[in-house]
């Protein structure tokens, strides 16, 4: 989730980086961005490392670790961009709230969080819960859109202020 800092900015993502690595390669031709990807599955971690190497992204670190605990990020500087795709739909509502409340401690002032949430058409749009939680935790909304098939929401929020990371705190557990 949290990256290393650089003059060109920093980014972070969860998982094997399929959503992030090609974008970094295309939009950072000087390869100045430093990023951290966190994935618990060692096979997915190896794939992400291999993809980063093929794309020439030397500034990308892939960490095989639990993305759901703050200890994974204690040695990392605050992120300028955090990508949380496929996270909020795979954790409990309480974990989502705890994770969102923790995000400011992982981010630099003015950082941007890009997130997704599926809508399973249950009569309640769960992305609205994520949106409200972000707004209640110091973020301002930049964008909230849905995919053309209306199955996913993509939100972009900017952090107004920062906090300090607490050691040993569990943010979420994938269900």
User: Which tens digits make up the pLDDT trace of 41-76?
Assistant: 999 999 999 999 999 999 999 999 999 999 999 898
CA gap 85, 60 in Å, rounded: 18
Residue 1 lies in a domain: no
Residue 152 lies in a domain: yes
CA gap 136, 64 in Å, rounded: 31
Domain range for 81: 10-159
CA gap 15, 20 in Å, rounded: 10
Sign of the C-alpha dihedral computed for residues 86, 152, 80 and 20 taken in this order: positive
Residue 35 lies in a domain: yes
DSSP summary character for residue 78: P
Query: CB–CB of 117/130 below 8 Å?
Result: yes
Residue 112 lies in a domain: yes
Binning pLDDT at 50, 70 and 90, where does residue 147 land?
confident
Residue 99 lies in a domain: yes
Residue 174 lies in a domain: no
Residue 90 lies in a domain: yes
Query: CB–CB of 114/42 below 8 Å?
Result: no
**Is the full-model pTM beyond 0.75?**
yes
- Domain with residue 140: its CATH number is 3.40.50.150
Residue 98 lies in a domain: yes
Binning pLDDT at 50, 70 and 90, where does residue 5 land?
very low
Query: CB–CB of 114/162 below 8 Å?
Result: no
139 has pLDDT over 80: yes
Task: Give mean pLDDT, residues 79-95.
Answer: 92
Count: domains in the chain: 1
């Amino acid at each position: 989730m949290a990256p290393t800092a650089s003059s060109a900015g920093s980014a972070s993502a969860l998982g094997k980086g399929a959503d992030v690595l090609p974008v970094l390669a295309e939009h950072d031709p000087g390869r100045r961005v430093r990023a951290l990807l966190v994935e618990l599955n060692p096979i997915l971690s190896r794939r992400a490392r291999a993809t980063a190497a093929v794309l020439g992204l030397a500034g990308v670190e892939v960490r095989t670790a639990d993305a759901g605990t703050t200890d994974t990020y204690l040695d990392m500087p605050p992120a300028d961009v955090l990508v949380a795709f496929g996270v909020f739909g795979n954790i409990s509502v309480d974990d989502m709230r705890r994770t969102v409340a923790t995000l400011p401690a992982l981010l630099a002032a003015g950082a941007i969080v890009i997130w997704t949430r599926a809508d399973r058409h249950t009569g309640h749009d769960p992305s609205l819960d994520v949106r409200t939680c972000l707004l209640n935790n110091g973020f301002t909304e930049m964008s909230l859109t849905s995919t053309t098939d209306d199955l996913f929401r993509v939100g972009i929020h900017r952090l107004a202020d920062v906090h300090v990371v607490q050691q040993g705190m569990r943010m979420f557990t994938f269900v």
